[in-house]
Structure 1
Amino acid sequence: MKQDIEIATADGSAKAGLFAPASGRATSSGVILYMDAFGPRPALYGMAERLADAGYHVLVPDLFYRAGDYGPFDTSAFGNETTRAQIMALIHGTSQAMTASDTGAFIEVLTRAGATGRIGTVGYCLGGGRALTAAATYPDRIAAAASFHGGNLASDAPDSPHHKAGSINGRVYVGVAGVDGSFPPAQSARLAEALRTAEIDHIIENYIGMAHGWTIPDHGVYDATGAARHWKRLLEFFEETLG
């Protein structure tokens, strides 16, 4: 069941959806689901419900809260010049450092809700990098970090997540779209090298034939078979790592 909450952060108040674990399956573990570029919406909440059904306390925060009211956007928004510009402004206005700072408050909310044990993160699109950065920022709590069709995970930017690989103290799973301009093969190789050098238990898996966004039900490139494979991998990853 979803509970609408507001989370006090260093920069204001972030709206979020908090999901309680299924009765009889509750664990002491929690999951933060980092949104894609289109923001919190029913499709992401449905994915959070599925994680809650597996026994986890789940939080879906609005990462763009500093911008005030925006959207809502549907997944065709990048095809419109106006809405594309609005989304890009939100992305560029919400840094990795901002989300890393906010994640401390997110973890506190999950802890108060009953997730007193290990925390997992999973991010989609822009959220993929945030999930990895969170694991590096809070290594004592975050034991598992997953990214699906995450962009710029090993770019030339100073805050690229791969630079923080040595600070991660958990496992990492990265599911890569078959062809994705935001995470080309050169970045995949760079991320793999960073994780291996840091001796991080990790998997980078290519989903050949899948397009960026294939996991999310309301996305135009959603692929049911590929999404089912993503769920199998994610749930097994969290079960093995979070318990």
Structure 2
Amino acid sequence: MKRDIEIATADGLAKASIFRPDNSVGKALSGIVFYMDAMGPRDPLYAMAQRLADAGHVVLLPDLFYRFGEYGPFDGGSFANEAARAQIIKMINETTQEITKRDSAAFLEVLDDEGVVGPIGVVGYCMGGGRALTAAATYSNRIGAAASFHGGNLASERPDSPHRLAGDIRARLYVGVAGVDGSFPPEQSARLAEALRTAEVDHIIENYVGMSHGWTVPDRGDAYNEAGAERHWKRLLDFFEETLA
């Protein structure tokens, strides 16, 4: 069950959607923030959020690009278009990790208003992977589980790289890595692993051999891999069931 809302953030109104399982009235449900990929909220992400909700969660999928007004629409193939790619990259670069920190405070308040119970979970795909880790570090008293799939630049040289926040993370982490991904090369994976282990964060970094960046999202063309996507679903649903129950 999907419901569209607007969220009042420190910088304006963000469009978002809330997903619940059918017949969930009166049931105690955990809450999850779903951080989108770079193409923005659209039908394939809505289907993914609903599948997550049907496992027993209230899922919030916000538009992280709301500051730009109307854009796109984009889909999984838009990055191949030069004009669309330029617009997407601009929006990614201008939607900084610091901005996501501020926005996430409002996202958590929405889940509170929805009456969720227990620790919050977060999951992010592509650009959203780093946002999920950043949120986990920033709101460590609220977020108990954080997952990233084909997240880019999780341990880059940038001063706002999520791995630099490892010492603030109290959540359990699961990081699913594409076997071939220029946005998260092996040296970044090693750097992230070292930071998390040094900070004694309970974590798993799993390499999906043969998968490409975007393998979990159905509209990502040749990158999408049905078997790999189902493996990701098993890992994610089990991870949240174990951690948020």
Q: Tell me which residue corresponds to 2:234.
A: 232
**Which letter maps to 1:145?**
A
Q: Tell me which residue corresponds to 2:243.
A: 241
Contact 1:28-1:118 within 8 A present in 2 as well = no
- CA drift at 1:215: 0.2
Contact 2:122-2:145 within 8 A present in 1 as well = yes
Cα deviation 1:7-53 (Å, max 9, x = unaligned): 00000000001012343694431000000000000100101101110
Alpha-carbon distance in structure 1 between the residues aligned to 2:163 and 2:63 = 24
Contact 2:77-2:219 within 8 A present in 1 as well = no
Q: Which range is displaced more, 213-222 or 142-151?
A: 213-222
Structure 1 SS opposite 2:210: strand
Q: Which runs of 5+ in 1 are unaligned?
A: none
For the pair 1:33 / 2:34, whether they are aligned, the reply is yes
Moved over 2 A (4+): 21-28
TM-score by length of 2: 0.97
Identity %: 69
Q: Which runs of 5+ in 2 are unaligned?
A: none
Structure 1 SS opposite 2:220: coil
Contact 1:22-1:52 within 8 A present in 2 as well = no
Q: Tell me which residue corresponds to 1:208.
A: 209
Contact 1:6-1:16 within 8 A present in 2 as well = yes
TM-score by length of 1: 0.98
Q: Tell me which residue corresponds to 1:189.
A: 190
**Which letter maps to 1:21?**
P
**Which letter maps to 2:35?**
Y
**Which letter maps to 1:140?**
N
Q: Tell me which residue corresponds to 2:169.
A: 168
Cα deviation 1:73-128 (Å, max 9, x = unaligned): 11111111111101011101100010111001001001111213210000000000
Contact 1:18-1:60 within 8 A present in 2 as well = yes
Alpha-carbon distance in structure 2 between the residues aligned to 1:121 and 1:21 = 18
Structure 2 SS opposite 1:157: coil
